Amino acid sequence: MTKFSDLNLNPKVLKAVEEAGYTSPTPIQAGAIPPALEGRDVLGIAQTGTGKTAGFVLPMLSLLARGRARARMPRSLVLCPTRELAAQVAENFDTYSKHLKLTKALLIGGVSFKEQDKLIDKGVDVLIATPGRLLDHFERGKLLLTGVQIMVVDEADRMLDMGFIPDIERIFALTPFTRQTLFFSATMAPEIERITNTFLSSPERVEVARQATASETIEQGVVMFKGSRRDREASEKRKVLRMMIDGEGEKLTNAIVFCNRKLDVDTVSKSLKKHGYDAAPIHGDLDQSQRTRTLDGFRAGDLRILVASDVAARGLDVPAVSHVFNFDVPSHPEDYVHRIGRTGRAGRDGKAMMICVPKDEKNMAAIEALIQKDIPRLDNPLGGTADAPQEQPTAETAPSEAPKPRRSRSRRKPDSADESAAAPQQAEPQQDTPRKSSADAAPQQQHAQPEARPEPQPADQPQQDSKSSRSRSRGGRGRSGNGNGGGDKVVGMGDHMPSFIALSFDERRTG
């Protein structure tokens, strides 16, 4: 078996590795370190958790052990897609360079430019940065990349997902052509392969078998859930999550809950805290100081549940995570392996559970095809159907609480009830009354008036009388509604004119 002592590392670097408790390299380390020490470009293809970070940190430190950095001109550059991953790479440099006199700077968003400028002005051997913040410093004239001897791109496929590829190409163009490039990615999408063909010179390709399945120490399961109603599905899904957490009892020491969207991360975190759970969110839109505090609290055991987006799934080493809950089925099957890989690390037992709604069944099938086995189905904690929230109206109360239809105030379009009540009385005048001049219409209206006069109604139906009278008064009117198109002018008395007023007018007109 290959040991670190067989890889020709700098003695001071090797000493730090031994003090950290490592003796044997992982496959990606054993394959990448020798060609990197020879000064060759390296293309490493391996999943997160295979030791890629040490695979480029150890040879970089050995190569940089001699020499000195100049102001604003770093000797090496490491690009990372997220702030957390960049911070973790910086911790690795601190661990393995403690016996070397090398300086480093961490350029990430959410941190003051002024403090970062001070470090750059002094000169740094290792510059670790996210692409956006690096270009910000360059455009402000605070940084020169012409002295970069070694350049590392970590998690290139994640860079592609986050839209950083144009920035990566621009940064490559700012560095010397003679630089050494170490390029690491979990997958080789066509866009990434194009970049490697353009910017890497005869690279040594080191490929570790793709991690198509999680560790055998991880127990997996999925709850197939369907909400009682579409508008209640989200709240019922959160209730399922809470019941799954409660069902684990004391076995759950800490857990990471993964969501696909940042908005859902905040919503789920607030819901858990509202119901008394010790939870906090972490995603890209939060302030960097808050993200750091949250992650440090989770690592230290002060925080029990971390609700995260995929920013926490790539490259972060959080030890002793007992459970992982996928609140959403990840859109990319590889992300499922990354997520559940946060538990069951270093030979520990772990448990990963997921909630799948009908719209996510296609993604679920893709995950099972990737890991080449079926994920065991778990019982729905809510039973066959989810409980309906109390604040929602039930089927029994819905009819009585339904809003009453508004009564139209238009004279042209009466309510359907008015039409049905007035139909027998209006039918004959409407058929026998063609549109004529006012002089011709008056005798005909006088002839039709006695037939249209209603019978006396009981006192409990005054509204129907008024509406019938209103319908009669419109029967001989022109459709224009202004009294000029046909029939005599009608005095407007409002929508609720009492019938006796209408009768008194009719008597005057016919008398």
Contact assessment for residue 324 and residue 350, using Cβ atoms and an 8 Å cutoff: yes
Residue 402 lies in a domain: no
Rounded distance, CA 510 to CA 3, Å? Answer: 119
Contact assessment for residue 390 and residue 384, using Cβ atoms and an 8 Å cutoff: no
Q: Based on the fold, state whether residues 150 and 188 are members of the same structural domain.
A: yes
Q: Based on the fold, state whether residues 23 and 46 are members of the same structural domain.
A: yes
Q: Based on the fold, state whether residues 192 and 331 are members of the same structural domain.
A: no
DSSP β-bridge partners for residue 346: none
Question: Tell me, what's the pLDDT at 348?
Answer: 75
Q: Give the amino acid at 406.
A: R
Residue 387 lies in a domain: no
- Locate all alpha helices (DSSP H) within 38-148, ordered by sequence: 52-64, 83-96, 113-122, 131-139
Q: Specify the pTM.
A: 0.62
**Residues of the chain under the 70 pLDDT cut:** 1, 48-49, 209-215, 312-317, 346-347, 384-511
Q: Based on the fold, state whether residues 234 and 346 are members of the same structural domain.
A: yes
Question: Tell me, what's the pLDDT at 68?
Answer: 83
CA dihedral 381, 386, 392, 396 (to 10 degrees): -130
361: domain CATH number is 3.40.50.300
Question: Tell me, what's the pLDDT at 299?
Answer: 86
Q: Based on the fold, state whether residues 471 and 367 are members of the same structural domain.
A: no
Number of domains in the chain: 3
Q: Based on the fold, state whether residues 178 and 232 are members of the same structural domain.
A: no
Question: Tell me, what's the pLDDT at 69?
Answer: 82
Rounded distance, CA 342 to CA 47, Å? Answer: 13
Report phi then psi at 444, rounded to 5: -65, -35
* Secondary structure letter of residue 62 according to DSSP: H
Question: Tell me, what's the pLDDT at 212?
Answer: 52
Residue 408 lies in a domain: no
Rounded distance, CA 151 to CA 68, Å? Answer: 17
Residue-range definition of the domain harbouring residue 18: 4-207
The 10 Å Cβ neighbour count of residue 3 is 12
Rounded distance, CA 325 to CA 223, Å? Answer: 11
Q: Based on the fold, state whether residues 373 and 423 are members of the same structural domain.
A: no
Question: Tell me, what's the pLDDT at 189?
Answer: 80
Residue 399 lies in a domain: no
Q: Based on the fold, state whether residues 134 and 157 are members of the same structural domain.
A: yes
Question: Tell me, what's the pLDDT at 349?
Answer: 83
CA dihedral 189, 190, 196, 197 (to 10 degrees): 160
Question: Tell me, what's the pLDDT at 289?
Answer: 83
Residue 384 lies in a domain: no
Residue 270 lies in a domain: yes
Contact assessment for residue 126 and residue 63, using Cβ atoms and an 8 Å cutoff: no
- Final residue before a domain boundary, out of 161, 186, 207: 207
Residue 395 lies in a domain: no
Whole-number mean pLDDT of the chain?
A: 79
Helix (H, G, I), strand (E, B) or coil at 275: coil
Residue 238 lies in a domain: yes
Q: Give the amino acid at 402.
A: A
Using alpha carbons only, what angle is made at residue 388 by residues 382 and 394, rounded to the nearest 5 degrees? 150
